[in-house]
Amino acid sequence: MNRTDLTAPVAVFDSGVGGISVLKELAAVLPRENFWYFGDSANAPYGTKSIEEIRSLTCRSIRRMIEGGAKAVVIACNTATSAAAEILREEYTHLPIIGIEPALKPAAMSHEHSRVLVMATPATLKLKKFNDLMHHYEDRAQTFILPCPRLVELIELGELESPEMYDYLRGLLADFIEHPVDSVVLGCTHFPFAKKALRDILGDHVQFFDGGAGTARQLKRQLEKWELVNPSAEPGRIVFDTSRPSEEELALCRRLFAL
């Protein structure tokens, strides 16, 4: 890519539609940037796959986006970040690659000796990086981990407030309804789209944390550092792309972005 093409898009990658929750934050912080969103919905969910498969799928998609002219990359998936970010940074030293990780730190710091529930995919919860992070804050908060593979599938289907969503969450969260938590870390970028259902079930007292806003601030810092900020005064353009191309899938992307 020609580095002088400052109007080139920022690539935003996720295993499906979940990363649109991050894209919303990116577009709010950087409204003049162009974004190219790609969701690998044909291979979703990533969170139940092996790390090797996640790494291969992630690298393949992001290489295609860089070759297609992206000036920067945001990996809007916690699992894909842990599996592939460092490899991609070593391979592509000429552009910034920003990842995301579960927002455990702000959740743990939000209350003294708080009870924190981390909802994430099985793959994210198995990763050494996450477990090191959890142990780092074990004196500050009592942390509970909860794998939620079916939640990704429901959101991929657009079932945000359906009876199936509520039934699944009530069963999954039964222990935490009986023994409430102070905070919930949404450790998968799909999960912010279930926040209304989660709040209805867990109560208004619960605080929710995700990594979207912090990722947007980091992208802004990196674009400024690399002198890649789009100089245009016009609003940026957002292009949705998917490995499961259909009008229904693109309509779901637009619907989620508009929420």
Please list the active-site residues.
77, 188
Between CA 197 and CA 178 the distance in angstroms is: 17
Could you tell me how far CA 137 lies from the centroid of its own chain? 22
What HEC string does the chain produce?
CCCCCCCCCEEEEECCCCCHHHHHHHHHHCCCCCEEEEECHHHCCCCCCCHHHHHHHHHHHHHHHHHCCCCEEEECCHHHHHHHHHHHHHHCCCCCEECCCCCHHHHHHCCCCEEEEEEECHHHHHCHHHHHHHHHCCCCEEEEEEECHHHHHHHHCCCCCCHHHHHHHHHHCHHHHHCCCCEEEECCCCHHHHHHHHHHHHCCCCEEECCHHHHHHHHHHHHHHCCCCCCCCCCCCEEEEECCCCHHHHHHHHHHHHC
Residue linked to tokens 């980091």: 218
Pairing of strands 10-14, 35-39: parallel
Axis-axis angle for helices 78-91, 51-67 (nearest 10): 60
